[in-house]
């Protein structure tokens, strides 16, 4: 076999073979490490979507009542801030008035000029009046000085209370805004699930004639509130919906609808008989006398879950009228099936 001279190049066909083998090797490696083809996620079944909707709706109701509670706290904080601000303004005015009196006394004393008390006493037609006037001036000077010091302390305390109340109101306002934001995000998720299910809440549905209610010893006001709640059957559930004059506007599926949430319905019902309730389950739970489940009468408020995030109004025979959840309407339903937390008799 002939040996290749130094510097002589390898034949080009051998270089092509090596290059082709190398390229093939890279191609094989790339094929081995390439990611597997993406598989489409299986679509959830209707049963799975329904379970997801129920879970989201329950979370939405919890968040809705938390939001309602924060709104009540915000109103209280704003009222406290307003009262504190008014008190601070009154104390400042009283302090300014007392200071003005001292300034006037000093000005009068300066205008009259310094007079030797002994000379004034000796030269006066009525020496006693000189003594009386001097004693009076000294008395008022001491009194005003003490009053200014006291008012200054009071004003400072009032100003601290004003700032504290303002800070509290701002903190609650921020919490309320955050809860509102979370509620909006949750609502978006729920709307997507409802769209897949074809659940599109619309206007009021025909609920049929109101049932006959056995008074069961309930008061006239309680029965009047119950009739008012029953008259709203078929009205859609709406987050934050309901006030003393009726269903308020809420948003569902991108369209404005009139509706109630659970505490909004009971607020409305009792407002019709002249009883004012706050728009929050936690506050309504403390709005009357506690009663056990066996003591319930028509018109009593009934509460569920340890955090009281759902409520209704007792109708009788183990049933209640309530605004259930997003996608549903005000209707009569059994109390059974939810963990009973307590009853409250408002009237």
**Cα–Cα distance for residue pair 244/7, rounded to 1 Å:** 103
From first to last of the 347 residues of the chain, give the pLDDT tens digit.
455 555 555 554 455 444 444 444 544 444 445 555 556 667 788 788 878 878 887 888 888 888 888 888 888 888 888 888 888 888 888 878 777 776 776 676 666 555 555 445 444 555 555 555 555 556 555 665 676 677 677 778 888 888 888 888 898 888 888 888 887 888 788 778 878 877 555 566 667 777 888 998 999 999 999 999 999 999 998 888 888 888 764 443 334 447 999 999 999 999 999 999 999 999 999 999 999 999 999 999 999 999 999 999 999 999 999 999 887 899 999 999 899 999 999 99
Domain boundaries, the chain: 51-117+126-197, 220-345
What does CATH list as the number for 220-345? 3.90.1720.10
Sign of CA dihedral 180, 183, 185, 187: negative
**HEC profile for 165-227?**
HHHHHHHHHHHHHHHHHHHHHHHHHHHHHHHHHCCCCCCCCCCCCCCCCCCCCCCHHHHHHHH
* pLDDT at position 9: 53
Rg (CA), the chain: 40
* pLDDT at position 250: 45
* pLDDT at position 253: 36
Q: What is the pTM of this model?
A: 0.63
* pLDDT at position 307: 93
- 140 burial via Cβ count (<10 Å: 0-12, 13-18, 19+): middle
Matching CATH number, 51-117+126-197, of 1.10.287, 1.20.1740, 3.30.420, 2.115.10: 1.10.287
Q: Is 285 helix (H, G, I), strand (E, B) or coil?
A: coil
Strand partners, 100: none
């Amino acid at each position: 076999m002939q040996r290749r001279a130094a510097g002589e190049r390898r034949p080009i066909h051998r270089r092509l073979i090596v290059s082709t083998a190398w390229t093939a090797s890279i191609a094989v490696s790339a094929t081995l490490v390439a990611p597997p083809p993406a598989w489409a996620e299986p679509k959830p079944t209707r049963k799975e979507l329904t379970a997801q909707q129920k879970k989201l709706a329950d979370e939405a109701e919890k968040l809705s009542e938390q939001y309602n509670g924060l709104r009540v706290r915000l109103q209280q904080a704003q009222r406290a801030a307003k009262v504190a601000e008014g008190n601070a303004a009154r104390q400042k005015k009283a302090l300014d008035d007392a200071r003005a009196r001292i300034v006037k006394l000093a000005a009068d004393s300066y205008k009259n000029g310094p007079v030797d008390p002994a000379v004034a006493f000796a030269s006066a037609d009525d020496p006693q009046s000189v003594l009386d006037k001097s004693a009076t001036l000294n008395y008022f000077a001491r009194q005003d000085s003490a009053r200014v010091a006291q008012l200054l302390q009071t004003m400072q305390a009032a100003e601290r209370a004003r700032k504290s109340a303002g800070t509290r109101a701002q903190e609650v306002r921020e919490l309320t805004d955050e809860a509102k934001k979370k509620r909006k995000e949750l609502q978006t998720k729920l709307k997507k699930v409802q769209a897949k299910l074809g659940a599109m809440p619309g206007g009021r549905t025909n609920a049929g004639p109101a049932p006959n209610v056995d008074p069961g010893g309930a008061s006239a006001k309680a029965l009047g509130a119950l009739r008012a709640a029953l008259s709203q059957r078929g009205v859609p559930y709406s987050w934050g919906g309901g006030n003393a004059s009726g269903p308020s506007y809420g948003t569902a599926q991108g369209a404005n609808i009139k509706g109630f949430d659970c505490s909004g319905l009971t607020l409305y019902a009792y407002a019709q008989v002249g009883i004012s309730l706050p728009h929050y389950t936690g506050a309504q739970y403390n709005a009357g006398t506690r009663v056990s489940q066996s003591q319930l009468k028509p018109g009593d408020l009934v509460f569920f879950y340890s955090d009281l995030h759902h409520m209704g109004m007792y109708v009788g025979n183990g049933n209640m009228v309530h605004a259930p959840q997003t996608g549903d309407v005000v209707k009569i339903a059994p109390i059974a099936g939810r963990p009973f937390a307590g009853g409250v008799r408002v009237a």
